């Protein structure tokens, strides 16, 4: 997952949660996210961190994968939503700041075999 606007890599080992079961589970079974990890939840307009063990960066995206909103270092036991979002990218806490990612940036996803 590349931030095309800034030409910086956000994640090179991101999973896709594109079924009801995968969206419900999300990152709940993880102990942490390492740099380069992530989860793209599609479709999605709201997330929560109830039951999670770590903070995450949450990027809300439109259908064209443009960043609409960022929730930096979202702590445990919180909710965040953007009703007009198409999907959400969850990344290790601090990734958005470290890469300079801001609303309006264009992301590009490439499937690796």
The model carries a pTM of 0.94
Check whether 113 has a pLDDT greater than 60. no
Fold exhibited by the domain 2-108: Jelly Rolls (2.60.120)
d(CA 34, CA 37): 5
Domain extents in the chain? 2-108
For residues 19-36, give the mean pLDDT: 86
Tracing tokens 């589970």 back to the chain, one arrives at 25
> CA nearest 87: which of 23, 14, 25?
23
- Which of 24-38, 39-53, 61-75 has the lowest average pLDDT? 24-38
């Amino acid at each position: 997952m590349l931030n095309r606007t800034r030409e910086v890599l956000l994640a090179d080992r991101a999973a896709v949660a594109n079924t009801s079961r995968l969206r419900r589970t999300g990152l709940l079974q993880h102990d942490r996210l390492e740099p380069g990890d992530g989860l793209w939840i599609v479709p999605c307009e709201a997330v929560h961190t109830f039951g999670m063990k770590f903070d995450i960066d949450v990027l809300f995206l439109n259908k064209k994968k443009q960043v609409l909103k960022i929730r930096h270092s979202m702590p445990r036991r919180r909710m965040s939503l953007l009703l007009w979002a198409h999907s959400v990218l969850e990344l290790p806490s601090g990734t958005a700041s470290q890469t300079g990612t801001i609303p309006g940036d264009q992301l590009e996803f490439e499937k690796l075999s």
